[in-house]
Structure 1
């Protein structure tokens, strides 16, 4: 059946149960809004719990060793390779200390330093030890635990196993609800004057990723169909070090946190030669795009006959099992002892630096539609995210989005949808075919011929289908996200940050120090928009 068979009404629907979504839901509840959180899986199945490194934040007075917000801003701008929005960067980073304080008040426990205050480490691109962490390398899991407990204590209702399909809009284009499928595939409508997308990233565009299976770009696709624009999609950050689990590995690969290099581990090849020596002044602590690209180039030379991974030598870290229990457990499960053995690692898709164009308050260009977290493009990350800025962004923008929604609803009358919405149709490509094409032609190192080939594969594979199941919703989202990414990557004829064009190896600030904005044309195809975001 096409028509919804159930309906409910709230003030705000939050899609996603990661750090941004849960933070927003809690703050909205505090402000008196009727909130409902929706997730297509179980409450803890998002990407936040897999985050290992920590939260990058300057905490004045807690043994900050001279670190400053201004220094953190500078590091973020350098990593972003000329495409950050400096005002957004400053606003989000300056709000970090209060956001972390609120998180601790909600029950999150960070690792203490021996001399008082919080323990801190340093990661790639950072000029200071400013990354606070929990459980060694279990920061995301601790944040998720604390927020879910606070949601339970705060009586914030949640719908699990419910897939967001489409925004419901008025004839004038204002979002006024959400069309969903329940766990049995039965469609329903949540009527709400505000919908916040906090649905995470799109790592499942690629065979090898640090992301869970649900990271399929659903929120991005929903926003595009609702009339929103997206930007910076060509900048997909590949984490330099996920655990190598064998040739042709697919799905979520265990992350080997960057903090391990922050505490002295170095990258070597099969012959024992240092990978990052003479590549960058920071060597193994260079920004992620630099390290991932260097590893990729190094693997292409097949030193010692190994062409698909390198090694992280952490044998000099005496308390590895205690300091990095998550990474140690992943290694031990595969018979690797980091105290004796170099850890085999390889780059994998990790984070989307682009997303739905929104401000630091979560507002998009579509009335009633908001975005926060990885699905959003606030201007914080630019062409390459600085390590551990993502959890910070989720905390800050999640809070600000809830406050903006409360303010907006105080002045905006409640509107209801007119005609009963029906399940939409959209192009759906075969997922395995899509991942093969994207991994081969649109990962690290791209060229015009390969991007054109990937586009042709999608065109041949995609079939218009009704979005009447979670799998079809996900595959349709991956299809439109892949097409949008290819469109942006093909047009950007330079190499910058996470985007490397082999035939245009240099950065071109004269032509390309700007973001590319993508929208859907009347036929549902991603195309460059006229709007250019500075």
Structure 2
């Protein structure tokens, strides 16, 4: 019979991207005496999708910009399908988060000559509001958050993959999570008072994708098997510009940063003709869904 090791914790967080690390730090700040554990398939601070972000973080902090303007860009970009309460919360708290990242967690974003935070142009925005650290914004954010996690003594289970959410005997709640040590194959059950899924989406269902390959939809699959509801599963975002280097290399799918379009880069079809203005008056600065569909239509038309 397979022996299963056991651990206990107060809060178990699955995933160590920006959401998981922020959650751990906020929980630690609110209740320093509770035990918090982060489980991650790779190495904390060295894996996941947030680390791969090149472009930046949209936030309305510049003179002339406003939360309301940012909100309308977001709602219109989402074709009014957005959950507007969630969108407003995201946009309104973005200002707090960007100051927290710099002033509390040690991030340092690019500056204008006068010392204010530099914000660059990004597609789908009517104002230049993308805060960035060169084109290594994700590395800056995740590295600083990981340093804070290490400094605060938050427990880590690195190179552990979650397999299943385990319900209590009476089925009324979760008892914890079953994980596997990816180095040894040994099983571990972590009993937890609360479990937070911060596992991201599932781009690896597609042959070519820009996010990290460890973002494999397993968090949502575990939730579904445990009987938890999933919402808006059809809302898959396609990043339109990626590197095509051949079908036999994992380099294919590597993101070509959206800031290139924001800075005035042109998209050309196989005939070396610009085509985006046929689909949207904003041209290459249209939102990702529009650009992705336009590129697909060009390819379907043999261009």
Confirm or deny a common fold (TM above 0.5).
Answer: yes
- CA drift of 1:252 comes to 6.0
> Offset at 1:103?
1.2
What is the root-mean-square deviation in Å for CA atoms of aligned residues?
A: 1.5
Looking at structure 2, the residues matched to 124 and 216 of structure 1 have their Cα atoms a distance apart, in angstroms, of: 27
Instruction: Quote the residue 2:113 is aligned against.
Output: 114
User: Is the CA contact (8 Å cut-off) linking 1:240 and 1:291 kept in structure 2?
Assistant: yes
Mapped to 1, the partners of 2:71 and 2:234 lie a distance apart of: 23
Q: Distance in 1 between matches of 2:278 and 2:298?
A: 13
Structure 2: distance between partners of 1:249 and 1:230:
33
Report deviation, 1:55.
0.5
Q: CA deviation at 1:253?
A: 2.1
- Cα pair distance change 1:251/1:234, threshold 3 Å: farther
2:266 is the counterpart of 1:266: yes
Superposition deviation, residue 94 in structure 1: 0.6
* Residues 169-191 of structure 1: per-residue CA shift (max 9 Å, x gap): 12133112111112312112111
What's the counterpart of residue 86 of structure 1? 84
TM-score, length basis structure 1:
0.54
Deviation at 1:251, TM superposition (A): 7.0
Structure 2 unpaired stretches of 5+: none
TM-score normalised over the length of structure 2: 0.94
Determine the structure 2 residue equivalent to 1:54: 56
CA contact (8 A) 1:213 1:251 kept: no
Tell me what 1:99 maps to. 97
Show the counterpart of 2:145. Answer: 147
Measured after TM superposition, the shift of residue 111 of structure 1 is: 0.7
Quote the residue 1:500 is aligned against. Answer: none
* 8 Å Cα contact 2:244/2:252 also seen in 1: no
Task: Give the 5 Å matches for 1:366-377.
Answer: none
**Counterpart of 1:167 in 2: which secondary structure?**
strand
Provide Cα deviations, 1:115-146, integer angstroms capped at 9, x if missing partner.
33111112111110011001x11111111111
Partner-residue secondary structure (3-state), 2:166: strand
Summarize deviations over 1:75-119 as a string: whole Å, max 9, x none. Answer: 111111222111111112111111111111201111111233111
Structure 1 stretches of 4+ with a deviation exceeding 6 A read: none
> Alignment partner of 2:240: what SS?
strand
Question: 2-side partners of 1:46 and 1:92: how far apart?
Answer: 21
**Structure 1 CA distance for aligned equivalents of residues 54 and 164 of structure 2:** 32
The runs of 5 or more residues in structure 1 that have no matched partner are: 304-534
Contact 2:12 2:38 in 1 (8 A): yes
